[in-house]
Amino acid sequence: MKVSISVPVSVTVSLINILLLFFSFPQALMAERLTEQEKRGKQIYLKTISPFGREIKAFIGIASTEAPGSVMPCVNCHGRNGQGRPSSGIYPSNITYKELTKPYHVRQMDGRQRSAYNEETLVRAITKGIDPAGNRLNPAMPIYSMEEEELNALVAYLKRLGNELEPGIHENRIRIGTFFPEEGRFVEAGKAMRAMMEAYFNEVNLQGGLYHRKIELEVVTFPDKRGSAVSAIKRLIDEKEVFALVGGIPGGAEKEISDYLENEEVPLIGPYTFAPEHLSLNRFVFYLFSGIREEILVHLHLLKSKFKKLDLKIVLVYPEEELSEEVEESLLEQIKQEGWHSFHKISYPPGRLDPLIVRKLYQRGVEAILFLGSWEEAKVFAFSADQINWAPLFFLSGSKIGRDLWHLPGLFQKKIYLTYPLLPTDRTETGLKELRDLFRKYRLTESYLPFQIYAFVASRILVEGIKQSGKEVSREKLIEKLEGLTGFETGLTPKITYGPNRRIGVLGAYVVAVDLKQKTFDPVGGWISLE
């Protein structure tokens, strides 16, 4: 019996529209999130490190030279999209599963043909270096030794390679996240940053968004407890499924956040910090300005150029745990290379700077102090030195200065030098106009202008990176475009430049001398670059 079903025209049209919409989506947007096994396989593909804690070995070349797998990760040659990255006359194969399993013979670069791969022959290629036709693979392709569990995970991921879902990307919107403390001294500053971001992104949306996608800003807050910032960011990534992070205040958890984002492969642009975790390059975090290490090097550069002697007695004074071991080692090595002969360091318990330390430094004939403590501790140092009629050159970060700067002892007149990543002279008329328009239109107050500028610049850089990535934006494309950002004009800061091995946009600082009598800052030596 033949059954006929009548479907209303409106329903038919709706169904057609849904199907058109479905098939017009980029393939990556329709894919499912990676399973746990696929995530483990991705780790092997990107780092060739076992997620199970076992050793993976690579055997390289005709001589089968043995090396740790991490020396020759798959991604180095085949790229993050699996399509191969030609280099030095070597043309790695396209290893996306669609390409590997084509149901007809494929002619390779060397002229040989092979049939389609399946799971078994793919494992054989990885572990024995033989293709489905029984041919030896190019000697440039390492042979890997790994357990069955690792192989299963790697093959599972290779089936998804180049076809992963990009969280936070939808046909008409792109979800971005940021994070701020809900208590402590940065609460109001965080609110000011959030308001600036919302205003800026709203303006972008009013102008049509980014390739017809509106920006949605997801905001989370966290209590003033160790580790809570990372938990907040985890909520943004797992629950809100944001595409990328922008701005935010790390709350002292810079390293923990950096490590977590590297593991999750989520980009973060412009967190508000002067302690960037960048010595071990994390390709997912882009900082705006230099940190403690760079500020010290800028001070030393000024000392060398202004006082013309490398035997000046200098001491770095800092709270315990203020410098990570990695930063401290890197800094001391750089200072040694610069040729400083009389450089020493001394630490003290945080919040408990003993005036006796000041007296001891005076007795040793110290001529210059690089001070990394808090503003309250800096005042203890200055007034303790004043009591013994001693005023060494006093170098500090401008980010830590309090409003009662002008009340420091007059003995330090023009002896105090501060570093700043930007000065009012960096602001162009175009940049100022754009900022003023946002303040006026969205009724923003200028109580926290440095934080607001930070939020504005970070947001602009993110938007520029997404624009350059195009309609088919991905996290990997965003990172690649930001790595290519050179001399980017923000209108409010020195030009921003990143690179494959650079994650600080403004690498250097200004130094200003403090005139306690006139209550002014006098720039010294212009911009000091650490390029």
Long-range contacts of 67-70 (CB under 8 A, 24+ apart): 69/144, 69/146
- For the entire predicted model, the pTM comes to 0.76
Question: Please, are residues 96 and 157 in contact by the beta-carbon 8 Å criterion?
Answer: no
User: Residue 163 contacts by C-beta under 8 Å, 6 or more apart in sequence?
Assistant: 27, 28, 31, 96
DSSP state of 398: G
Average pLDDT over residues 147-164: 89
Q: Where are the domains of the chain?
A: 36-158, 173-289+427-500, 292-420+510-529
Average pLDDT over residues 341-357: 90
| CA neighbours closer than 13 Å in the CB half-sphere of residue 407 | 9
**220, burial (CB in 10 Å: exposed 0-12, middle 13-18, buried 19+):** buried
- Strand partners for 244: 176
**318, burial (CB in 10 Å: exposed 0-12, middle 13-18, buried 19+):** buried
173-289+427-500 topology per CATH? Rossmann fold (3.40.50)
Q: How many residues does the chain have?
A: 531
Q: Which CATH class is domain 36-158?
A: mainly alpha
Average pLDDT over residues 293-316: 85
**CA–CA dist 206, 330 (Å, integer):** 46
Question: Please, are residues 170 and 238 in contact by the beta-carbon 8 Å criterion?
Answer: no
Q: Is the pLDDT of residue 9 over 60?
A: no
For residue 61, name the pLDDT band (cuts at 50, 70, 90): confident
For residue 26, name the pLDDT band (cuts at 50, 70, 90): very low
Range of weakest confidence among 68-72, 83-87, 437-441, 516-520: 83-87
Looking at residue 103, what is its pLDDT?
77
Looking at residue 279, what is its pLDDT?
59
263 versus 469: the higher-pLDDT residue is: 469
Q: Which two tokens stand for residue 50?
A: 């076992």
Average pLDDT score, the chain: 87
Average pLDDT over residues 374-383: 95
For residue 162, name the pLDDT band (cuts at 50, 70, 90): confident
Q: Is the pLDDT of residue 367 over 90?
A: yes
Provide the 3-class DSSP secondary structure of residue 343.
strand
Q: Tell me whether strands 314-319 and 268-269 are parallel, antiparallel or unpaired.
A: unpaired
Q: Is the pLDDT of residue 486 over 90?
A: yes
Question: Please, are residues 243 and 174 in contact by the beta-carbon 8 Å criterion?
Answer: yes
Q: Do 173-289+427-500 and 292-420+510-529 agree at the fold level?
A: yes
Range of weakest confidence among 24-38, 99-113, 225-239, 273-287: 24-38
Looking at residue 107, what is its pLDDT?
63
Q: Is the pLDDT of residue 528 over 80?
A: yes
For residue 24, name the pLDDT band (cuts at 50, 70, 90): very low
**CA–CA dist 241, 176 (Å, integer):** 9
Terminal alpha carbon distance of the chain? 82
- Strand partners for 408: none
pLDDT digits (tens, 9 = 90+) for 273-300: 877 866 567 899 999 999 888 888 899 8
**DSSP labels, 49-79:** --TTS---EEEETTTTEEEEGGGS-HHHHH-
* 292-420+510-529 maps to CATH 3.40.50.2300: yes
CA quadruple 290, 293, 295, 297: dihedral, nearest 10: -120
For residue 315, name the pLDDT band (cuts at 50, 70, 90): very high
Percent of the chain having pLDDT more than 90?
58
Range of weakest confidence among 95-109, 194-208, 352-366, 383-397: 95-109
For residue 133, name the pLDDT band (cuts at 50, 70, 90): confident
